[in-house]
Structure 1
């Protein structure tokens, strides 16, 4: 046996994460961690996060239906289109804004207590919104309160799936991320139907109650592996920002969200602008979410097979290219639906790949800390992108009312794809650490 002293553990954990594009050394071997089971109770956690995504982000994804309804009616006197756009942005922005305190609370209180708090906040927000009579009521309820609730539910849950999987990490995250598509599909159809047949108020109340019950069930089933992994779970770890790969990943997230929010919320009103009926306009949001449900597991499978950074970059590029080749020339219901299905599969690639990509770049133990930074970085684009998009609208252009928002979204996705390809090249240069 050699008398050479063993290398300290902390030296190993500073080695950049090496994924399938750079090495065959398992991540947990690099970090000295017990290997994830790649299954077992992890599949229950996948189901739980699937439900949480469906009844949090899926609900938010259907806001485009409410937005189109708000824009076509004068429900709140004095409200402008920018007011309604900002409410949707507040959903995402407030969810991301609470990431740092929620990460710290999760370290102190565990996973479940913050999530149960979130269930109460989200449910209460929708029910309170149903009684709104002024636009500022809607800001506080359907905007801020619902957004904070989603943040409390989602932030503690997002890292759990990656803790249970290694070789199947991306496909597992793809499956649970598809929950937002299923939820968005259900609520997009249901919201418009309830509005047309009952009222907007009851649409909001039913949304709050149903999502609250389902999220409470999912929260009770979820389990983390923090006791084994012992993540530091820092709310804002400045040391991570010293890594160029981390900065590139954060840049990708920021820029891609500019396109994502524009697409997610603008599509139903775009459909209205080209002469489609209110029900057809609402269905475009539903088909967008159907594409999400079908595409994300496939992207997860391809990511595990061909490399997570590479596949995420290609999906981001497809999102941008499809804007110019399909959305821009769309004038009929058929082409708009086709675009919704195709782009739904790839436009939210950030949400389904960010957890595996954080592991690739920083390692499993640093996953919660890097996620907390990521949520902080995307606050501005998720809050203001749709506001910018509606400001760019030109109703006087007729059929081309959404020309500038379309160019804005497509360009953002192409720039984001270029950033991720640079990150991929940088990761491929990382040498495999010695055994």
Structure 2
């Protein structure tokens, strides 16, 4: 019989099961800031934080998960092989996640406004610079869309997610889901825009600029309506939470390892499904819309499971979601006709959107104080940046130069996701045991 779900102890943290005096002192010195400043769980600025976060992820994750359009276009333009081009999107996602270890720490210190403004500028600069690049020249694309865009996204995405911990507690998973639903909306709108504009009279240059102007509006809105509620550790007597406090937390470390392994395979359809549809002789229109359909499915995946997670706990949701992603990937073998492509895209988008959205709430329930939320999310994002960097290029190499060995890439991606899901099971057991709750 179930007693309390996983989130119950966040309101009344238990004594850390750590023997090292330095770590215990650090936790005690950074007593939960929400005891002095109660988390509102609503109100004008809380909802402004959600809206601003959604605008941010629309421009960052939304643009990144639309890379399949660029992948297809650059291959046809002669910029390189599928594996070569995938490094551009992988570098962008690598920096988006990898910068989290810095941007999350800076958020905890109270530098949200500074890093968010700089990141917004770099995002806009990169997209406008991309519009004047030659799509057949590989290194210009790497520097603009890969490097510059990645750094800008890394300086904005993690702080936008961490900001929700200032305003939400009981409904934090739902708030984070709504924020990340912005990325799915971006992943629906941008591929349609880009495909239509790239293949219409606007062409590559003005198609890219159209997206840049849309980002300009959204990022200006986000900068105007988002603000922090807590002062940050730079002005706090107890100082910052040491990284060592997090590094010796077994359920956290195992969760990070599981997520890292899982991410080696998760983005394969986002990069290659459009190419798969074209190679199987299906319509060009369907190929254009596959990325948008994936992201449309993820809109609901980022909201519905997160809503449920506020009641049953993030781990109880994320484990079956991880397993479903791996199983769905193997179903790609049968995705060779139009109805199958549409059904697969919706289901896989729902599952992967949910997987992405449930990771930050899981980090939140492991945090002992609000002052280490940014550190935990940032460190996990940093760790997952490495499989994101090499995962899709590995898939491209497995496909071969003539894109014929699809079974190798599908099997590799499916297996690593199932392994990652299996490692989350003992992580959940450790979390439940530490909190003194019974297993469901």
Shared fold per TM-score greater than 0.5: yes
Q: Deviations over 1:221-249 (max 9, x none)?
A: 11223238989896981331111111111
Find the counterpart in structure 2 of residue 372 from structure 1.
378
Q: Deviations over 1:295-317 (max 9, x none)?
A: 21101112112221110111111
Q: State the TM-score, normalized to the length of structure 1.
A: 0.88
Take 2:348 and 2:301, find their aligned partners in 1: how far apart are those partners? Answer: 9
Find the counterpart in structure 1 of residue 284 from structure 2.
278
- CA contact under 8 A between 2:53 and 2:222: conserved in structure 1? yes
* Stretch of structure 1 that moved more, 384-393 or 64-73: 64-73
Q: Name the CA shift for 1:359/1:334 in 2 (closer, same or farther; >3 Å).
A: same
Q: Which residue of 311, 314, 319 corresponds with 2:320?
A: 314
1:53 is aligned to 2:37: no
Q: Which residue of 216, 228, 235 corresponds with 2:220?
A: 216
Take 2:435 and 2:362, find their aligned partners in 1: how far apart are those partners? Answer: 18
Q: Name the CA shift for 1:358/1:105 in 2 (closer, same or farther; >3 Å).
A: closer
Structure 1 residue ranges without an equivalent (≥5): 1-18
The Cα of 1:412 is off from its aligned counterpart by 1.7
Q: Name the CA shift for 1:138/1:166 in 2 (closer, same or farther; >3 Å).
A: same
Q: State the TM-score, normalized to the length of structure 2.
A: 0.87
1:137 is aligned to 2:140: yes
Find the counterpart in structure 1 of residue 122 from structure 2.
121
Q: Name the CA shift for 1:397/1:369 in 2 (closer, same or farther; >3 Å).
A: closer
* Stretch of structure 1 that moved more, 136-145 or 197-206: 197-206
Take 2:338 and 2:130, find their aligned partners in 1: how far apart are those partners? Answer: 32
Q: Name the CA shift for 1:48/1:323 in 2 (closer, same or farther; >3 Å).
A: same
Find the counterpart in structure 1 of residue 425 from structure 2.
421
Find the counterpart in structure 1 of residue 351 from structure 2.
346
Q: Name the CA shift for 1:200/1:355 in 2 (closer, same or farther; >3 Å).
A: same
What are the within-5 Å matches in structure 2 for residues 165-314 of structure 1?
Answer: 165-197=168-200, 198-227=202-231, 237-314=243-320
- CA contact under 8 A between 1:162 and 1:355: conserved in structure 2? no
1:39 counterpart SS class: coil
Take 2:46 and 2:7, find their aligned partners in 1: how far apart are those partners? Answer: 25
Q: Deviations over 1:106-141 (max 9, x none)?
A: 456621221111111111111111222321111100
Q: Deviations over 1:8-51 (max 9, x none)?
A: xxxxxxxxxxx953474443666643342211121221111111
1:328 counterpart SS class: helix
Find the counterpart in structure 2 of residue 7 from structure 1.
none
1:69 is aligned to 2:73: yes
Q: Name the CA shift for 1:358/1:89 in 2 (closer, same or farther; >3 Å).
A: same
- CA contact under 8 A between 1:91 and 1:147: conserved in structure 2? yes
1:331 counterpart SS class: coil
Find the counterpart in structure 1 of residue 157 from structure 2.
154
1:429 counterpart SS class: helix
- CA contact under 8 A between 2:110 and 2:231: conserved in structure 1? no
- CA contact under 8 A between 1:116 and 1:216: conserved in structure 2? no
Take 1:366 and 1:27, find their aligned partners in 2: how far apart are those partners? Answer: 15
Take 1:148 and 1:154, find their aligned partners in 2: how far apart are those partners? Answer: 10
Q: Name the CA shift for 1:158/1:168 in 2 (closer, same or farther; >3 Å).
A: same
- CA contact under 8 A between 1:22 and 1:432: conserved in structure 2? no
Find the counterpart in structure 1 of residue 20 from structure 2.
none
Structure 2 residue ranges without an equivalent (≥5): 15-30
Take 1:356 and 1:20, find their aligned partners in 2: how far apart are those partners? Answer: 17
1:383 is aligned to 2:389: yes
- CA contact under 8 A between 2:258 and 2:420: conserved in structure 1? yes
- CA contact under 8 A between 2:98 and 2:384: conserved in structure 1? no
Q: Name the CA shift for 1:397/1:387 in 2 (closer, same or farther; >3 Å).
A: closer
Find the counterpart in structure 2 of residue 6 from structure 1.
none
Q: Name the CA shift for 1:147/1:233 in 2 (closer, same or farther; >3 Å).
A: farther
Take 2:105 and 2:377, find their aligned partners in 1: how far apart are those partners? Answer: 12
What is the Cα-based RMSD across aligned positions, in Å?
A: 2.4
Find the counterpart in structure 1 of residue 17 from structure 2.
none
2:351 counterpart SS class: coil
- CA contact under 8 A between 2:297 and 2:348: conserved in structure 1? yes
Q: Name the CA shift for 1:249/1:29 in 2 (closer, same or farther; >3 Å).
A: closer
Take 1:428 and 1:109, find their aligned partners in 2: how far apart are those partners? Answer: 32
- CA contact under 8 A between 1:234 and 1:369: conserved in structure 2? no
Take 2:117 and 2:143, find their aligned partners in 1: how far apart are those partners? Answer: 20
Find the counterpart in structure 2 of residue 360 from structure 1.
365
- CA contact under 8 A between 1:99 and 1:372: conserved in structure 2? yes
